[in-house]
């Protein structure tokens, strides 16, 4: 069990310099967390190299990006992308009988989910194939990365991979019931998680969200040895999630989105960083706040704890950056709306007795219950509706500020990490942005 270790001190400026290599291990999406650290690497003059998960056309063979897709992705990243598909997971990998987990679900109605049985051995066969596929592709990736390593200076790898929801149509109605269902539509996460379907998700999440980090550390051992032998250093950072401290009743209080079914995979990621650090590798996981990205879009309500970030900016000293953030957010509100009301409603949600039982760090990740989900979804909608244009909502603006602050903190801290697992709570992010 990881100890709760929030970052307390702003890290010093790092020693990265022009020509050092920054490798983004995962794809970059418009509003994704990684934008923050990529900006920092560019600003420091580092050479930026990226990766791709590849593509599958209609669930078919995994392939690299087409020349057009590659050109677009490279323009977005502002650097070369090594075009080897690094998709992790095994939901589309056949077991020894030639059938993949996703294919096994064909013809089954989502309502009959409780009757689905895979059997552990079948899942493990597919899993082993998925691991083998990624290992082979990683070898290719490393072979193409090696010539790009500068003759002097250091390397920074940023791991951003997370996901692994099996890509069967079957899953969407079920997941919608778990994450967005109210009344009769609500499906509790616990029985689902304890079913064979939950087991498939768990194993797949572990591969995508956790073991890709271990694989990266392992595959780059020779690169590390080479760089260290000539006096350079190789460092690794990864994005974690394990709840977040936000301002509530004048204090920074740990809370979490529930049900965070990826929680165990994220704890595996933490364990990998702890073990690597013990072995003398510079590897740190930074547990980040809830923000709105492509990946978090399914989890309606995850953004509720983001609103108090505005209050954190005031609490940590205010000033021009905080004032600008308030102005930018206020400009997005419907006529007659106010940030004060928005913050009061978010506060009322977080402080409600219904949420108290979910603020238990030791019990994380917890399953959901009907009343909590109904309350969260209703409050999420109420606060979203306060923005005038649903394509430009206040929490998107706050998400951007948070990923910028997180990017700076991770980039700076990576030079000499304050620990293998650190929580970047609203206070330290606000302080970073204000200083």
Ligand X SMILES: NC(=O)c1ccc[n+]([C@@H]2O[C@H](COP(=O)([O-])OP(=O)(O)OC[C@H]3O[C@@H](n4cnc5c(N)ncnc54)[C@H](O)[C@@H]3O)[C@@H](O)[C@H]2O)c1
Closest-CA residue to 393 (of 298, 291, 299):
291
- Of 14-22, 42-50, 155-163, 320-328, the segment contacting ligand X by CB under 6 A is 155-163
Residues 6 or more apart whose Cβ sits within 8 Å of residue 213: 159, 161, 236, 238, 269, 272, 273, 283, 285
Q: Using CB positions, name the residue nearest to ligand X.
A: 32
Which member of 7, 21, 27, 372 binds ligand X (CB under 6 A)? 27
- Of 15-23, 156-164, 380-388, 407-415, the segment contacting ligand X by CB under 6 A is 156-164
- CA-CA distance, 248 to 252, in Å (whole number)? 6
Closest-CA residue to 245 (of 315, 308, 314, 319):
308
- CA-CA distance, 91 to 237, in Å (whole number)? 27
- Reply yes or no: is the peptide bond before residue 259 cis, omega within 30 of 0: yes
C-alpha pair distances (Å), 228 with each of 225, 232, 281: 5, 5, 11
Of residues 53 and 388, the one with the C-beta less far from ligand X = 53
Minimal distance, residue 341 CB to ligand X, in Å: 24
Joined together, the tokens standing for residue 39 give 């900006």
- Taking residues 265 to 304 in sequence order and writing x for each that binds ligand X by CB under 6 A, - otherwise, the string is -----------------------x-xx-xxxx-----x--
The answer to whether residue 398 forms part of the interface with ligand X (CB under 6 A) is no
Q: What are the φ and ψ backbone dihedral angles of 206, each rounded to 5 degrees? A: -55, -45
User: Could you tell me if 384 and 396 are in contact, meaning their C-beta atoms sit under 8 angstroms apart?
Assistant: no
- CA-CA distance, 77 to 73, in Å (whole number)? 6
Which member of 88, 246, 300, 339 binds ligand X (CB under 6 A)? 88
Minimal distance, residue 285 CB to ligand X, in Å: 9
Query: Which sign, positive or negative, has the C-alpha torsion 291, 296, 298, 302?
Result: negative
Minimal distance, residue 86 CB to ligand X, in Å: 6
Minimal distance, residue 3 CB to ligand X, in Å: 18
In the window 53-72, what residues touch ligand X (CB under 6 A)? 53
In the window 196-215, what residues touch ligand X (CB under 6 A)? 208, 212
Which member of 6, 94, 163, 188 binds ligand X (CB under 6 A)? 163
What are the residues facing 421 on neighbouring strands? 285
- Taking residues 221 to 260 in sequence order and writing x for each that binds ligand X by CB under 6 A, - otherwise, the string is ------------------x-x-------------------
Minimal distance, residue 247 CB to ligand X, in Å: 18
Minimal distance, residue 221 CB to ligand X, in Å: 20
The answer to whether residue 168 forms part of the interface with ligand X (CB under 6 A) is no
C-alpha pair distances (Å), 399 with each of 209, 250, 329, 404, 405: 21, 22, 11, 9, 10
The answer to whether residue 164 forms part of the interface with ligand X (CB under 6 A) is yes
Q: How many CB atoms lie within 10 A of CB 109?
A: 9
The answer to whether residue 161 forms part of the interface with ligand X (CB under 6 A) is yes
Of residues 232 and 305, the one with the C-beta less far from ligand X = 305
Q: Which helix (H) or strand (E) holds 188?
A: none
Of residues 159 and 367, the one with the C-beta less far from ligand X = 159
Joined together, the tokens standing for residue 391 give 């394509």
User: 370-384 and 394-414 are packed helices; what angle lies between their axes, rounded to 10 degrees?
Assistant: 100
The answer to whether residue 316 forms part of the interface with ligand X (CB under 6 A) is no
Minimal distance, residue 90 CB to ligand X, in Å: 10
- Of 62-70, 116-124, 157-165, 378-386, the segment contacting ligand X by CB under 6 A is 157-165
- Per CB under 6 A, residues contacting ligand X are 26-27, 29, 32-33, 53, 86-89, 160-164, 208, 212, 239, 241, 288, 290-291, 293-296, 302
């Amino acid at each position: 069990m990881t100890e709760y270790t929030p970052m307390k001190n702003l890290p010093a400026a790092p020693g990265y310099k022009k020509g050092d290599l920054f490798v983004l291990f995962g794809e970059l999406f418009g509003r994704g967390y990684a934008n923050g650290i990529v900006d920092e690497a560019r600003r420091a003059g580092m050479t930026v190299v990226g990766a791709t998960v590849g593509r599958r056309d209609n669930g078919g063979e995994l392939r690299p990006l087409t020349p057009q897709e590659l050109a677009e992705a490279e323009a977005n990243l502002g650097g070369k992308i090594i075009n080897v598909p690094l998709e992790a997971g095994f939901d589309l990998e056949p077991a020894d009988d030639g059938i993949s987990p996703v294919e096994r679900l064909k013809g089954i109605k989502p309502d009959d989910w409780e009757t689905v049985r895979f059997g552990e051995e079948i899942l493990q066969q597919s899993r082993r194939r998925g691991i083998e596929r990624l290992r082979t592709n990683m070898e290719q990736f490393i072979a193409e990365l090696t010539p790009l390593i500068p003759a002097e200076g250091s390397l920074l790898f940023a791991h951003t991979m997370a996901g692994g929801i099996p890509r069967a149509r079957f899953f969407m109605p079920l997941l919608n019931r778990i994450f967005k269902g109210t009344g009769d539509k609500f499906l509790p996460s616990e029985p689902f998680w304890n079913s064979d379907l939950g087991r498939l998700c768990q194993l797949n999440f572990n591969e995508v969200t956790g073991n890709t980090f271990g694989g990266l550390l392992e595959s780059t051992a020779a690169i590390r040895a080479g760089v260290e032998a000539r006096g350079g250093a190789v460092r690794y950072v990864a994005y974690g999630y394990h709840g977040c401290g936000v301002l509530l009743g004048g204090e920074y209080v740990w809370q979490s989105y529930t049900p965070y079914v990826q929680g165990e995979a994220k704890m595996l990621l933490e364990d990998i960083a702890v073990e690597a650090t013990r072995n003398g590798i510079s590897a740190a996981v930074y547990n980040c706040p809830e923000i709105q990205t492509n990946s978090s879009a399914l989890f309606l309500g995850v953004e509720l704890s983001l609103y108090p970030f505005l209050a954190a900016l005031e609490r940590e000293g205010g000033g021009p950056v905080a004032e600008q953030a308030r102005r930018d957010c206020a400009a997005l509100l419907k006529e007659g709306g106010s940030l004060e009301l928005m913050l009061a409603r978010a506060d009322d949600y977080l402080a409600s007795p219904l949420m108290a039982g979910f603020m238990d760090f030791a019990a994380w990740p917890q399953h959901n219950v009907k009343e909590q989900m109904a309350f969260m979804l209703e409050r999420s909608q109420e606060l979203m509706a306060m923005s005038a244009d649903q394509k430009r909502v206040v929490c998107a603006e706050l998400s951007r500020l948070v990923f910028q602050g997180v990017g700076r903190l991770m980039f700076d801290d990576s030079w000499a990490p304050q620990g293998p697992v650190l929580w970047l709570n609203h206070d330290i992010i606000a302080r970073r942005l204000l200083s």
